[in-house]
Amino acid sequence: MEKRGGHPLLRGGRRAEKGGYRHGFSAAQMRTLSAMCGAFVPTVPMKAACLGGGKDEVAELLVRRGQKEAVALVKLVLWVLATRLGTLVLCGSLSLSWRFPFINKFSDMPVEKREHILMKWNREKSFIFLRLVFVIVKVFCLYVFYSLTNEEDENRAWKAIGYNIPSEEKPHKSRGERPLEKGIIETMDKTDSSLRQSLIESRKAWRSPTTLGNTPIPSTVMLS
């Protein structure tokens, strides 16, 4: 039994080895994106779950597969959430704290508050762009989380959800002669006389017989 190998582009660390990421997100935007991904999948740290720069893989996939307008919108919201004032505008009172500087950036907020904010965005009816950002980031985040594998074609999250990699069994070789092999005569190692003898011994039903020399050849015999 053999495990199916994961697609090379989904294996951890491969893109970084080929020259790094080209998503163009700033460090501040990546911290915010990582905080979002950590809210969508809070049970396992994003870095450990995605096995090779999870947040970078999310950003890279978003830039490569997402619409330009969607990518621009996500980048803008991530940039706004990277500031305290922007977080206050988009997240409201949940960004406030009793400790200095009293306003948290999105990445500095506890995961419970981040989850509450994202769920609020999902129900948003006035500012539809926040709902769009929620859907876009969630789709790409979960796709990378459950798809990316390490060099052993494993993902730590699969075991937690009860998923097992399908195994491929090599087909068993048939020990006996298969029905379609009956009547097949290999001609490479036969001389004219041995071929004539093999044809005589085949004892096949005669259909529109042809001849090899003076010996009739049944049409049901296949020469190879």
Q: What is the DSSP string of 45-60?
A: -HHHHHTS-HHHHHHH
Query: What average pLDDT does the segment 79-94 reach?
Result: 95
Residue type, 25: F
pLDDT of residue 209 exceeding 90, the answer is no
CB atoms within 10 A of CB 209: 11
Q: Label residue 57 by pLDDT band (50, 70, 90).
A: confident
Task: Name the residue with tokens 């539809």.
Answer: 128
pTM for this predicted structure: 0.61
Q: Which of 53-57, 75-79, 146-150 has the highest mean pLDDT?
A: 75-79
pLDDT of residue 205 exceeding 70, the answer is no
Name the strand (E) or helix (H) holding 2. Answer: strand 2-3
Give residue 182's pLDDT: 61
* pLDDT, tens digit (0-9, with 9 covering 90-100), for 93-105: 999 999 888 999 9
Give residue 49's pLDDT: 43
Percent of the chain scoring above 90 in pLDDT: 36
Give residue 178's pLDDT: 60
Q: Alpha carbon 36 to chain centroid distance?
A: 21
What residue ranges do the domains of the chain occupy? 2-168, 180-223
Preceding amide of 101 cis, omega within 30: yes
Q: CA 220, CA 206: separation in Å to the nearest integer?
A: 7
Give residue 169's pLDDT: 60
Q: Are 104 and 84 in contact (CB under 8 A)?
A: yes
How large is the angle between the packed helices 128-147 and 68-81, nearest 10 degrees? 100
pLDDT of residue 34 exceeding 60, the answer is yes
Comparing 87 with 181, the larger pLDDT belongs to 87
